Amino acid sequence: MDIFKTIPHIPNEIKIEDLGENRIRVSVWPFEPSYAITFAHPLRRLMLSCTPGYAPVMLHIDGVAHEFDSVRGIAEDVTPFIVNLKNIRFTNKGSDIKDTVRVNYEFTGPMELRGANLASDEIDVVNKDAYLATINEDAKFRFSLVIKRSIGLKPNDLVRKDKDFTGEIGLIPLDAYFTPVKSAVYRIEDVLVEDNPNFEKIVFEIETDGQVAPIDVFKNAIAMAQTQLNIFGQDVAVLNPDSNTPAEDIVDIKNLLVKIDTLNFSTRCFHCLDKIGIQYIGELVMMSENDLKNIKNLGKKSFDEIAEKLSSFGYPIGTSLSAEVLEAFNKKIGRSK
């Protein structure tokens, strides 16, 4: 074993085991002593917090004014119905991922309403046997749902601030739990490398509710970690106190130099940009709305995706950059290309 080395050992083994429905075990090794927890804990947090899923966020029931009301002909009051509804795990139907789905339902009794009854042309249900309500004979139960795709937990007071919340009487905002990850745990084991028993192995065990595959949860966490760390890969500009260059211009240049291949664009969107040689966010910022819409094969969904990404960096479409920023950016990418 090389005792005197200039870089730590790089892990080169990974093993993925299927533990049953929606459960896997991922083992990665060998890590230098004390390195394993450095990577394991952030990845676990990202798996739990950054995996998108679907949840109902708004409910409207015909003839109901608020969540403490009752519905004629329904065994459950509105509050226990909402509790049951929150347990329903929705998933996308088809390959076209929608961030918002609105569905209208009408059921006639007698019947026992279960998760399977909420499946539609746009959305599917994972836990089809989950109980919702009992509809009595000759009763009609009409309601509509707004189902959204997001991450984490959004309490109903935040849902009220959403652009889709109209505030109409009877529209009930719901606490929304989006995370499809039921469990993400890890343990650190010792592993022998040559004659050194102090190297480490990370063993993850991941379980989901069926909305997404556990391996996709793991891959998404890695992608999120790389995206978050991307900022550290940019050139760090140090502001000279005697310089006349405003600090905000330096920030602008740093953000403009973010590469588009780190932004998790959809495959179609990325290929459209790659074909015309776009590499940096700054190049997108300098394009007008018409320029973007005229990119070959770039549809409305991809355009909206670009607009959302630019806005998240503080550059909504149509933003004008100062001459100094443009000059610095062009000079920078001229050296980088």
C-alpha dihedral (307, 308, 314, 315), degrees to nearest 10:
-10
Average confidence (pLDDT) over 73-84: 94
Compute the mean pLDDT over every residue in the chain, rounded to the nearest whole number.
87
Checking if the pLDDT of 53 tops 90, the result is yes
User: Distance between CA 332 and CA 119 in Å, rounded?
Assistant: 52
154: tokens are: 């959004």
Say what the pLDDT of residue 252 is.
53
Checking if the pLDDT of 241 tops 70, the result is no
User: Distance between CA 60 and CA 215 in Å, rounded?
Assistant: 36
Q: Measured between alpha carbons, how far is residue 225 from residues 183, 220, 228, 239, 279 in Å? A: 19, 9, 5, 28, 21
pLDDT band at 238 (very low <50, low <70, confident <90, very high): low
Say what the pLDDT of residue 250 is.
45
- Residue 225's identity, in one-letter code, is A
Answer for the pair 26, 204: CB distance below 8 angstroms, yes or no: yes
Q: How many other C-beta atoms lie within 10 A of the C-beta of residue 144?
A: 15
Say what the pLDDT of residue 233 is.
64
Checking if the pLDDT of 157 tops 60, the result is yes
What are 295-328's pLDDT values in tens digits? 888 888 889 889 888 888 888 888 888 888 888 8
User: Distance between CA 334 and CA 312 in Å, rounded?
Assistant: 25
User: Distance between CA 193 and CA 195 in Å, rounded?
Assistant: 6
Q: Which of 265, 217, 232 is nearest to 24 (CA)?
A: 217
Average confidence (pLDDT) over 100-116: 94
Set out the domains of the chain in order of their start, with CATH numbers: 13-51+181-231 (3.30.1360.10), 53-177 (2.170.120.12), 236-336 (1.10.150.20)
Say what the pLDDT of residue 14 is.
95
User: Distance between CA 236 and CA 337 in Å, rounded?
Assistant: 18
Q: Which of 94, 88, 93, 90 is nearest to 53 (CA)?
A: 90
pLDDT: is 239 or 61 the higher one? 61
Burial bucket for residue 334 (CB in 10 Å: 0-12, 13-18, 19+): exposed
What are 244-255's pLDDT values in tens digits? 544 444 445 778
* Global pTM exceeds 0.75: no
Q: Which of 5, 38, 46 is nearest to 206 (CA)?
A: 46
Report for 41-45, 268-272, 299-303, 327-331: range of highest mean pLDDT: 41-45
Say what the pLDDT of residue 199 is.
94
Q: Which of 168, 165, 146 is nearest to 54 (CA)?
A: 146
User: Distance between CA 71 and CA 116 in Å, rounded?
Assistant: 21
